[in-house]
């Protein structure tokens, strides 16, 4: 059975890295007979500036009806005030498709890539499960007496039992299906007593349904310390929207930088969106120098979600081999272009098949 993938490269380096992710997907699709059908959409800054449209009407329904997954690049452009189109596209898809799980693996692929002295790939291999629809990023609040010396601002953090329970269940289910042994709740319930009190109550309730998985807790400040001092103690981390945002950038630093980090925005069982963690990096855009590995590993994550585990592993193996052979862009100390890295990884995927 073929799979239909909606590809939205977006802006800046998003366009370049997505092209390489597609190249690798084509290679793996041939090798594993996946019959992937990729359809590219031009949603992004150019279209927004030209037509005033960010996310076309009916787009979400169309994606739900006709596609199995969405592969995105990055969105943002200095010519668009507040990156309005990026917000509309990414937030629109996240909210309307109700993509409540933001999955961010932190997996070291080569010991040379971590800034942590002496750490091995076996020791840095965990995943952050970030709540993606509520928390501090709901844009609820207001300003009183704006611009005056008496200015007062309220920025609310929203926590619902339903939203909290479903993300915690997703974390335990991820652990169960991937053979991971421990789920750690990360919050700040000692200070944010009401909202994070909900996380505490729900977490220990849900944990009882998974007796085979160890449930532990860390405050977010302690977790930041632990990720650096003892990353091997991290396995599956479940946390709020804001803490997940911050910790996953720290995670990206542990594995060699933003150019390598993949992510998924998921609603289990429904059409979901996969994108590299990095943004549009305007300073690198159009120069064929951006690292496409984050986007390529994102494509692997998408295949994994679609049930094509062997194809996903083949991509990851090819990326690990490419790094080992120094077939890398300049952010990883190499001299290859974005396209050369994409071609090298696609060739390695094909080479394994023959
Ligand atoms: P945006 O506003 O879209 O988030 P940004 O430049 O502020 O763009 P990122 O795109 O996340 O934020 O990148 C931050 C920096 O990280 C870049 O300037 C670049 O140096 C580095 N970086 C990010 N992604 C890559 C990549 N794929 N390859 C190489 N370097 C990257």
pLDDT category of residue 1 using cuts at 50, 70 and 90: low
Distance CA 41, CA 54 (A): 11
Pocket test for ligand 1, best of 279, 283, 287, 288 (most atoms within 8 A of CB): 279
* CB of 281 closer than 6 angstroms to any ligand 1 atom: yes
**Burial per residue of 145-159, b for 16 or more beta-carbon CB atoms within 10 angstroms, e otherwise:** eeeeeeeeeeeebeb
User: Which is nearest to 343 in space by CA: 18, 24, 36?
Assistant: 24
More confident residue, 7 or 354: 7
Per residue in 57-75, pLDDT (tens digit) is 999 999 999 999 999 999 9
Distance CA 217, CA 315 (A): 34
pLDDT at 354: 65
**Percent of the chain having pLDDT more than 90?**
97
Pocket test for ligand 1, best of 258, 328, 331, 337 (most atoms within 8 A of CB): 258
The ligand 1 atom nearest the CA atom of 11: 3
Tokens read off for 177:
């299906």
* CB of 348 closer than 6 angstroms to any ligand 1 atom: no
Per residue in 189-226, pLDDT (tens digit) is 999 999 999 999 999 999 999 999 999 999 999 999 99
Name the closest-CA residue to atom 19, ligand 1.
281
221 is catalytic: yes
The ligand 1 atom nearest the CA atom of 283: 18
Distance CA 335, CA 327 (A): 8
**pLDDT over 80 (residue 110):** yes
* CB of 283 closer than 6 angstroms to any ligand 1 atom: yes
Full DSSP string of 287-351: TT-S--HHHHHHHHHHHHHTT-HHHHHHHHHHHHHHHHTT---GGGT----HHHHHHHHHHHHHH
**pLDDT over 70 (residue 35):** yes
Residue listed under structure tokens 């005033």 = 52
Cβ partners under 8 Å of residue 151, min gap 6: 143, 144, 145
Dihedrals φ, ψ of 234, to 5°? -95, 135
- Name the active-site residue from 221, 230, 287, 326: 221
User: Which is nearest to 286 in space by CA: 21, 9, 5, 11?
Assistant: 11
| Region 149-157 average pLDDT | 98
Topology of the domain covering 101-260: Isopropylmalate Dehydrogenase (3.40.718)
| Region 151-167 average pLDDT | 98
pLDDT at 352: 84
* CB of 68 closer than 6 angstroms to any ligand 1 atom: no
pLDDT at 2: 86
* CB of 314 closer than 6 angstroms to any ligand 1 atom: no
pLDDT at 15: 98
188 is catalytic: yes
pLDDT category of residue 80 using cuts at 50, 70 and 90: very high
The answer regarding whether domain 1-99+267-354 maps to CATH 3.40.50.720 reads no
Please, what is the average pLDDT of the chain? 96
* CB of 342 closer than 6 angstroms to any ligand 1 atom: no
Point out which residues pair with 130 in neighbouring strands: 102, 239
Domain residues of the chain, as ranges? Answer: 1-99+267-354, 101-260
The ligand 1 atom nearest the CA atom of 282: 6
1-99+267-354 and 101-260 share one CATH topology?
A: yes
């Amino acid at each position: 059975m073929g799979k239909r993938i909606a590809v939205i490269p977006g802006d800046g380096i998003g366009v370049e890295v997505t092209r390489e992710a597609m190249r690798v997907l084509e290679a793996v699709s041939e090798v594993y007979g996946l019959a992937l059908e990729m359809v590219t959409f031009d949603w992004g800054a150019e279209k927004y500036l030209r037509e005033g449209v960010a996310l076309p009407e009916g787009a979400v329904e169309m994606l739900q009806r006709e596609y199995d997954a969405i592969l995105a690049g990055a969105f943002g452009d200095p010519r668009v005030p507040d990156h309005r189109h990026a917000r509309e596209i990414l937030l629109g898809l996240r909210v309307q498709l109700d993509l409540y799980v933001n999955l961010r693996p932190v997996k070291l692929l080569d010991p040379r890539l971590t800034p942590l002295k002496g750490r091995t790939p076996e020791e840095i291999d965990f995943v952050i499960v970030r709540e993606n629809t509520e928390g501090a990023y709901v844009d609820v609040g207001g300003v009183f007496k704006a611009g005056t010396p008496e200015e007062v601002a309220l920025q609310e953090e929203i926590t619902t039992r339903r939203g909290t329970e479903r993300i915690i269940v997703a974390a335990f289910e991820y652990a169960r299906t991937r053979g991971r042994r421990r789920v750690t709740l990360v919050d700040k319930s000692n200070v944010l007593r009401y909202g994070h009190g909900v996380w505490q109550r729900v977490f220990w309730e849900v944990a009882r349904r998974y007796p085979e998985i160890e449930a532990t807790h860390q405050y977010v400040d302690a977790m930041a310390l632990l990720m650096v001092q003892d990353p091997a103690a991290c396995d599956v981390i479940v946390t709020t929207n804001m803490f997940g945002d911050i910790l996953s950038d720290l995670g990206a630093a542990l594995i060699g930088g933003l150019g390598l980090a993949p992510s998924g925005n998921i609603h289990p069982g429904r059409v979901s969106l996969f994108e590299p963690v990095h943004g549009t990096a305007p300073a690198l855009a159009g120069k064929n120098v951006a690292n496409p590995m984050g986007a390529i590993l994102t494509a692997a994550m998408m295949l994994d979600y679609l049930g094509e585990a062997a194809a996903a592993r083949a991509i990851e193996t090819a990326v690990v081999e490419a790094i080992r052979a120094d077939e890398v862009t300049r952010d990883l100390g190499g001299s290859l272009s974005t396209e050369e890295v994409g071609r090298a990884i696609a060739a390695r995927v094909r080479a394994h098949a023959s």
